Amino acid sequence: MKLSKTCKTCEFVFCKENADDGKCEYSGEIVPEGKGCDAWGASLEYYSEITQNAPWYIKEPYDRYQISYNQFLDFLQKDGEGIGIEINIYDAIERIYGLMSWELAGVLDVAIGVIGYARCRGTIAKRKKSFSSRLHIPERFFDKFLSTDFDALKRCREEFYKFYGSEMIEKLKQNGINAMDEKFQRDIAIDKVRNEKYREENQYKYQYKEKDKMYHDLSDDYKSRDYVVAITLKEGEYFGNIFYEYSYGGYGLSVTIMSDILEFIENLSREEIEELNEEGLLNNNMGLKSDIDGKEIHFELRNENGNVLKKTVPEEELQKYIVGYEMIRCDGHGMKKERRKCISCKNFQPIEGCAKGNCSAGGEVVQRSKIICAFDYVPIEK
C-alpha cells in the first residue's frame, strides 16, 4: 500500500481546500506527490482509510499496540517504496501456508509449546534445519523474513503441498489438533488432582469454630481487609456453614457486598457447586458436593454434640436449608505507614532534650516522627 502524503490527505483543512494548484498553503511550496511537507499529518478520513486497509503485517501489529503510529506510517512509507519490512516468520507461515499454530505443530512433529517459544523468542539452531526441510523453506527465513520475501514463500508453499499432497498434510494437521486435545485433557486431569489435594488439605483450615467470639479488626491497614461471612444451613438442631470470603477497602457489610452474597446463594446450583469444588474454592464445613451425572446435592449437618445428619437433596431444594448469613471474621493487613513512626518502635531510643533518637536496628540517629524505615518495624507493646 502506497502512503499518499499530499495536501488532499492532510489534516490541515485550509491546505486541502486550496491545493488545486499543487501548492501547499501551509509551507508555501509545491509538494511532490507522495512526499508531503514536514507538517503533514493524516486527516481523519485518510487515517481511517490507511488503518483499515493497511497490509496485515502492518495493520495487525498496530492494532495490537506493538508499534506506534509513527512506526505505522514509516512502515507504510517503506512498503509503498518496495522496502522490505521484517515480519515474524511464523505469522507469515500462518498466512501463506494456512496453518494455525497447533496444525503447524503437527506438521513439524513438535509440541505446541515449541511453536510458541519459537514464535516469541526465535527458532533455536537445532530446529532450523528440521523446520526448513519439512516446510521447504530456506533456513535464512528463520533468521530474518521480510515482506519482500512473500513471493518466495508462496513458491515454498507450492513445493510443500506438491511434495506431501493434500491428504497427507490434512493428516499431519489432525495430528497437531489431536495432540493439543490430549494435552488439554491431561491438564484437566492434573488440575483435578491438584484441586482435590487442595480441598483435602484446606477443608478444615478456616472453619472459624468460635464464630460467636467474632474478631472484628477496625484498625488502620494498608488498603483492604479480609472478611468472612458464614452462610448457615440448618435442619432442626443440625447445622453447617458455607464460608464466603472477600476483600474490601471499607468496613462492614455494604449493600453491594450483601447483594453479592445473596446472588452467590441464589446461584448455588449443582453445576456451580461442582465448578467451585473443582477449583478448590468452595470453603465449607459440611462436605458440600454434587453428583457428577445426576441432579442431587450431598452435604452433612452436625449438632452441638457432633452427631452427623447426612442429606441428599435435589438442587432446587438446597435453598430450603439456608436460614441466614453473618460476618464472622475481619482481618486487617496491618498498620498504615503514617502510623509506623519511629517513636512507636522498640528499636528507637529517644535522645533527651530533642526530637531525635538512636535507632538500634539501623545504627543511626533519626527523627522520632520518621515514617519510612528501611529496617524491621517492631511496635512497642502496650
Tell me the domain boundaries of the chain: 7-80, 89-174, 215-332, 337-382
CA 357 from centre of chain: 47
| Total residues found in the chain within this entry | 382
For the chain, how big is the Rg over CA atoms in Å? 34
Cell readout for 94 is 500462518
Residue among 278, 284, 280 nearest 198 (CA): 280
Beta-carbon contacts of 227 under 8 Å, excluding residues fewer than 6 positions away, are 245, 246, 247, 248, 257, 327, 329, 330, 331
The DSSP 8-state label assigned to residue 294 in this structure reads S
Please give the Cα distance from 349 to 343 (Å, whole number). 8
Cell readout for 128 is 532450523
The DSSP 8-state label assigned to residue 43 in this structure reads -
pLDDT given for residue 217 in this prediction: 63
Amino acid (one-letter) located at 66:
Q
Amino acid (one-letter) located at 355:
A
The neighbour count for residue 349, using CB atoms within 10 Å, is 11
Beta bridge partners of 309: 301
Please give the Cα distance from 94 to 117 (Å, whole number). 15
Q: Within the chain, where are the H helices?
A: 13-17, 44-53, 56-63, 69-80, 89-97, 101-108, 112-121, 125-135, 150-164, 166-202, 255-266, 270-278
**Are the C-beta atoms of 368 and 347 separated by less than 8 Å?**
no
Residue among 122, 107, 79, 104 nearest 163 (CA): 107
pLDDT given for residue 222 in this prediction: 53
- Assigned CATH for 337-382: 2.20.70
pLDDT in tens, 318-334: 989 999 888 888 777 66
pLDDT given for residue 211 in this prediction: 47
Helical axes 89-97 vs 56-63, angle rounded to 10°: 120
Question: Parallel, antiparallel, or unpaired: how do β-strands 296-302 and 308-314 relate?
Answer: antiparallel
Cell readout for 382 is 502496650
Beta bridge partners of 244: 229
- Phi and psi for 358 in degrees, rounded to 5? -95, 130
- Phi and psi for 359 in degrees, rounded to 5? -95, 110
Q: Which residues of the chain fall short of a pLDDT of 50?
A: 17, 34, 211-212
Please give the Cα distance from 150 to 56 (Å, whole number). 13
pLDDT given for residue 382 in this prediction: 63
pLDDT given for residue 145 in this prediction: 95
Residue among 139, 145, 54 nearest 96 (CA): 145
Query: What pTM does this model have?
Result: 0.50
CA 112 from centre of chain: 20
pLDDT given for residue 26 in this prediction: 54
- Phi and psi for 364 in degrees, rounded to 5? -145, 165
